[in-house]
Structures are given as C-alpha cells and as structure tokens.
Amino acid sequence: MKLAVMGDIHGNHVALETCIRHALEKEADEFLFLGDYISDCPYPQKTMQIIYEMKRNYRCYFIRGNREDYMINHRNKPQERWTYSSSSGSLLYTYENLSEKDIDFYESIDIRGLYRKEGYSDFRYCHGSLTSSNELLLPDNPNMESIMENLDVDLLISGHTHIQESKMYGSKKLIHPGSIGIPWYYNGKSQYMILHSTDCNYFGWEEEFIQLGYDVCRVKKEFEDSGLLQKAPFWAKSVIHTLETGEDYTTPCLRLAMNLCKEEESVVNWPDIPEKYWKIAYKHYIK
C-alpha cells in the first residue's frame, strides 16, 4: 500500500498538480488530504476543482483545516471587519472566490480521522491536533507530551506546521508531511509524503518525504492577474517571498505590525491594522 499524504495546499493549485502527478507516477494507491486546501494563493476555485476530481477518481480521505473553519464561520456569521487589506484581504478574497458547494464540502468533513483497514496498522490523522484545527503539534507546545501519551494508536500524522519531519515521543511517532502550497525550507520546494505499508517496523508504515520544484513564476503571475496582490498587499507579498525562498515571514510580519500599532495607537484589534504598520514590518523582515 502506498498512501500519498498531502497537507496545507493553501490554494497553490500549480504545486498541487505537480505533487499529484508525481504521486500517480509513483503508483500511489490512496490519497490522504490533511486540510487547509485554500487561502493565501490565488484562484482557490482551481484547487477545489482538482480536489473534486481526485474525490471522483481515486480513493481519497479528507479532513478540514483551520482555513476551512474560517470560511465556514464567515458564512455562518459574516465577519464584517474582513476588508481588502494586508490583514484580512486574503481571507475575504478567498471567501469571495468559493462557492456554496465548497463550504458545504468543508462542513461535511471532520478535523480528524482514523485510518483503519484490514491488514494494515491503524493510525490517526488531523490538520492541527485531534481536538483543534488550529493547534500546532510542535515540541514547544506544552500539551505535546500528554497528547502523544494519550494517543490510542502508535502513529499520528498532522499538518498545519508546514515543516516536513517526523519525531518520536516515547514509543509513539508523530509525522508532519510538510506543505504542498506554502512550503517552508528546501528553497520553497513543494512537499508531500508517501506512506508505505511495511512489516519491517513496529508502526506498520514507513514515511518517504518528497520535495518537488514547480512553476513558482506561474503562481506569482496569478497573484497579479487575480488582483490578490492589490487586495491584500503586504500579506500577499510575504506569501510570494515564502514561495520563492521557503523562508516564512508572514506571521512575524503580522506580529510586528500588530506590536507597532499597539505602541502607536495603544490599541490593536485584528484585522484593523493600518497599512503603514504592515509596510514597516514588511520592510523590516523582507526588503
């Protein structure tokens, strides 16, 4: 059994196509998608089209990520404070380019799953953690040890970190397959994983980490053509920087812009952060 595990696509349909083609060449039997299908990159509808095609043609498992939760929440109770701006313009743009069908699809899937198939070892999977789509399962998470200790299987696979790695916690293993669409490190190469079933280890599965170059220039051009670069100026530029280098400054830029706003105006409420603070933050980290 070869299971292609794909996480954090973030609307990067060009990288997604590249990874799917590669997985099919490697004769993947099944596909596991770990959520965050959309937001950050342009034309989310193109990514969703690929997702539906995969669902029709292959054995796929889907869970949702925090970005899908934001879209569901927005439909249920529109966030009037989302505006075209570096803080929330990318989310607003994404929402406006999705259909009711897309959001219905997000609502139909869970934030976690259990892989159980006769003849294979069980494992659990999630976008963030098993209890929250937004939790990062990284060593500095104070709940990390207890999460792994309380795990009722030996293997957990999670996305959201954008870091491709595996780590042991006692006798349990945690694997992050990396991000397809906003990959960190490896000079921005797109990342996914093939999980091979095996009798040679205790977990019953062996991970193969894959990094692939793809047409970043095509995605960059879509940022301009789609208007996303104008609708979420410094956020979009920060995302492009990550795509081109694998260095991520989106969160540091947001944090600095918020701190600057707090210092100057003694109050800060996301997403109401004036562009002038974003500009300083962007220049501080990127250029």
Binding site for Fe ion (CB under 5 A): 36, 65-66, 160
Q: Write the CB contacts of 143 (distance below 8 Å, at least 6 apart in sequence).
A: 129, 135
Contact 212, 275 (CB under 8 A): no
Cβ proximity to Fe ion, 93 vs 277, nearer residue: 93
The first and second tokens of residue 107, run together, are 């609502």
Q: Write the CB contacts of 275 (distance below 8 Å, at least 6 apart in sequence).
A: 85, 86, 233, 234
CB of 172 to Fe ion, least distance (A): 22
Cβ proximity to Fe ion, 143 vs 198, nearer residue: 143
Cβ proximity to Fe ion, 39 vs 121, nearer residue: 39
Q: Nearest-5° angle of CA 36, CA 37, CA 40?
A: 80
CB of 64 to Fe ion, least distance (A): 10
CB of 119 to Fe ion, least distance (A): 32
Q: Which residue is nearest to Fe ion (CB)?
A: 160
Q: Nearest-5° angle of CA 108, CA 109, CA 113?
A: 150
Tally of residues, the chain: 287
The distance of Cα 185 from the centroid of its chain, to the nearest Å, equals 15
CB of 179 to Fe ion, least distance (A): 9
Contact 115, 123 (CB under 8 A): yes
The answer for 36, left when phi > 0, alpha when psi is -120 to 50, beta otherwise, is left
CB of 255 to Fe ion, least distance (A): 17
Cβ proximity to Fe ion, 87 vs 161, nearer residue: 161
Cβ proximity to Fe ion, 7 vs 204, nearer residue: 7
